[in-house]
Structure 1
Amino acid sequence: MKKIALVLKGYPRLSETFIAQEIRALELRGFEITLVSLRHPTDTSTHPIHQQIEADVLYLPEYLHDEPLRVLKAFWKLGTQFSLVKVFKQFFRDLKRDTSRGRVRRFGQSLVLAAEMPEGVEQMYAHFLHTPASVTRYAALVNDLPWSCSAHAKDIWTTEQWDLSEKLAELEWLSTCTAANHSYLQSLAKDPSKVHLVYHGLDFTRFQHVDRISRADVNGSSADNPVKIISVGRAVPKKGYDDLLNALAKLPKDLHWQLTHIGGGGILKALRQQAKALGIEQHIEWQGAQPQLTVLEAYRESDLFVLASKIVADGDRDGMPNVLMEAQSQSVCCLATDISGIPELIDSGENGVLVESNNVAQLTAALDDLLRSGEKRERLGAEGQKQLHRRFDVKIGIDQLEKLFDDRG
Structure 2
Amino acid sequence: MTTQRRKKVLVFRSADVHQTNRALAHLRGQFPGAEVTLLLQREQVESFSGNPHINKFCVYDSRAAGSWKEGMLLIRKLRKARVDLVVIPCRNSREVVHLSDAIVLSLIIPAERRIILDGRLQEVGLSFSRRMRALADMLACLMVSGIATVMTCLMLSMWRRPAPGDRVSKQSGKPVRVGILIPVLPDISHTFVYREILAMIEQGADCDVIALEEGDYGVLHPEAQELLKRAIMVPRLSRTAAVLRYLFFLVRSPRRMAELIHLYRPHSHGDKLLFLRFEQFHNVFHPVQSFGLIGLLKRRGITCIHAYGSTYPATRAMVAASLLHLPFSISTFVDFEHESDFRMLYEKIEGAAFVVATTGYCASRLISMTSGAFRDRIRRIVLGIDPEYGRDRVQRVDQASPLIMAVGRLVEKKGFDYLLRSLVLLKERGLFPHCMLIGDGPERGKLQALAEEYDLWDCVTFAGALTNDKVLEYFGPEHILVAPSVYAGDGERDGIPTVLVEALICETAVVSTRISGIPELIEDQRNGLLVPARDGEAIADAIQKLLENPGLRKEYGLRGRKKVRAGFNVYKSSGQLWSLIEQRCAGSNCNTNPS
Q: Structures share a fold, TM > 0.5?
A: yes
Q: Kindly report which structure 2 residues correspond to 1:305-384, keeping only aligned pairs within 5 A, or say none.
A: 305-384=481-560
Equivalent of 1:112 in 259, 281, 292: 292
1:93 equivalent in structure 2: 266
SS at match of 1:182: helix
Alpha-carbon distance in structure 2 between the residues aligned to 1:288 and 1:396 = 33
Shift in Å at residue 95 of structure 1?
Answer: 1.3
Q: Kindly report which structure 2 residues correspond to 1:44-63, keeping only aligned pairs within 5 A, or say none.
A: 44-53=218-227, 54-61=229-236
The one-letter amino acid paired with 1:18 is: F
Alpha-carbon distance in structure 2 between the residues aligned to 1:376 and 1:388 = 18
Alpha-carbon distance in structure 1 between the residues aligned to 2:400 and 2:443 = 30
The one-letter amino acid paired with 1:90 is: L
Shift in Å at residue 14 of structure 1?
Answer: 1.5
Shift in Å at residue 55 of structure 1?
Answer: 2.9
2:433 equivalent in structure 1: 257
Please, which moves more after superposition, 18-27 or 300-309? 300-309
Shift in Å at residue 367 of structure 1?
Answer: 1.4
Cα distance per residue 1:149-181 (max 9 Å; x no partner):
111013334469981111111111011111111
Give the conservation status (yes or no) of the 8 Å contact 1:2–1:31.
no
Give the conservation status (yes or no) of the 8 Å contact 1:154–1:315.
no
Q: RCO (CA 8 Å, sep 6+): is it higher in 1 or 2?
A: 1
Structure 1 residue ranges without an equivalent (≥5)? 216-223
Please, which moves more after superposition, 286-295 or 90-99? 90-99
Alpha-carbon distance in structure 2 between the residues aligned to 1:266 and 1:39 = 20
2:386 equivalent in structure 1: 203
Give the conservation status (yes or no) of the 8 Å contact 1:156–1:181.
no
* 1:72 to 2:252 alignment: no
1:30 equivalent in structure 2: 204
Equivalent of 1:20 in 194, 218, 241: 194
SS at match of 1:6: strand
SS at match of 2:268: helix
Cα 1:354–1:361 shift into 2, 3 Å: same
Cα 1:341–1:289 shift into 2, 3 Å: same
* 1:3 to 2:186 alignment: no
Give the conservation status (yes or no) of the 8 Å contact 1:60–1:109.
no
Shift in Å at residue 225 of structure 1?
Answer: 4.9
Shift in Å at residue 230 of structure 1?
Answer: 1.0
Equivalent of 1:235 in 389, 402, 410: 410
Shift in Å at residue 267 of structure 1?
Answer: 0.5
Alpha-carbon distance in structure 1 between the residues aligned to 2:319 and 2:283 = 11
Q: Kindly report which structure 2 residues correspond to 1:185-196, keeping only aligned pairs within 5 A, or say none.
A: 185-187=366-368, 188-189=370-371, 190-196=373-379
Cα distance per residue 1:84-141 (max 9 Å; x no partner):
2322332323312799947786222112221232432121111111121111111111
Instruction: State the TM-score, normalizing by the size of structure 1.
Output: 0.89
Cα distance per residue 1:336-390 (max 9 Å; x no partner):
0111111111111111111011122211111122122222111111111112111
Alpha-carbon distance in structure 1 between the residues aligned to 2:400 and 2:222 = 32
SS at match of 2:557: helix
Alpha-carbon distance in structure 1 between the residues aligned to 2:379 and 2:340 = 19
Cα 1:210–1:51 shift into 2, 3 Å: closer
Sequence identity of aligned pairs in percent?
25
2:355 equivalent in structure 1: 174
Cα 1:168–1:225 shift into 2, 3 Å: closer
Give the conservation status (yes or no) of the 8 Å contact 1:262–1:289.
yes
Alpha-carbon distance in structure 1 between the residues aligned to 2:315 and 2:400 = 52
1:39 equivalent in structure 2: 213
Cα distance per residue 1:299-344 (max 9 Å; x no partner):
2496100010011222211101110000011100001011111111
Equivalent of 2:328 in 144, 147, 150: 147
Cα 1:2–1:375 shift into 2, 3 Å: farther
Equivalent of 2:257 in 84, 87, 93: 84
Shift in Å at residue 34 of structure 1?
Answer: 2.9
2:111 equivalent in structure 1: none
The one-letter amino acid paired with 1:362 is: A
What is the CA RMSD across the aligned residues, in angstroms? 2.7
Alpha-carbon distance in structure 2 between the residues aligned to 1:270 and 1:39 = 29
Cα 1:209–1:359 shift into 2, 3 Å: farther
The one-letter amino acid paired with 1:84 is: M
Instruction: State the TM-score, normalizing by the size of structure 2.
Output: 0.62
Alpha-carbon distance in structure 1 between the residues aligned to 2:224 and 2:501 = 20
SS at match of 1:191: helix
The one-letter amino acid paired with 2:187 is: R
1:245 equivalent in structure 2: 420
Shift in Å at residue 73 of structure 1?
Answer: 4.0
Aligned residues: 396
SS at match of 1:96: coil
SS at match of 2:492: coil
Give the conservation status (yes or no) of the 8 Å contact 2:200–2:575.
no
2:466 equivalent in structure 1: 290
Cα distance per residue 1:250-273 (max 9 Å; x no partner):
113431211111112111111011
Cα 1:36–1:52 shift into 2, 3 Å: closer
Give the conservation status (yes or no) of the 8 Å contact 1:346–1:352.
yes
* 1:130 to 2:311 alignment: yes
SS at match of 1:251: helix
Alpha-carbon distance in structure 1 between the residues aligned to 2:538 and 2:284 = 45
Give the conservation status (yes or no) of the 8 Å contact 1:14–1:43.
no
The one-letter amino acid paired with 1:156 is: E
Shift in Å at residue 226 of structure 1?
Answer: 4.7
Give the conservation status (yes or no) of the 8 Å contact 1:308–1:337.
yes
Equivalent of 1:267 in 418, 430, 443: 443
Cα 1:50–1:160 shift into 2, 3 Å: closer
Shift in Å at residue 12 of structure 1?
Answer: 1.4
Cα 1:97–1:21 shift into 2, 3 Å: farther
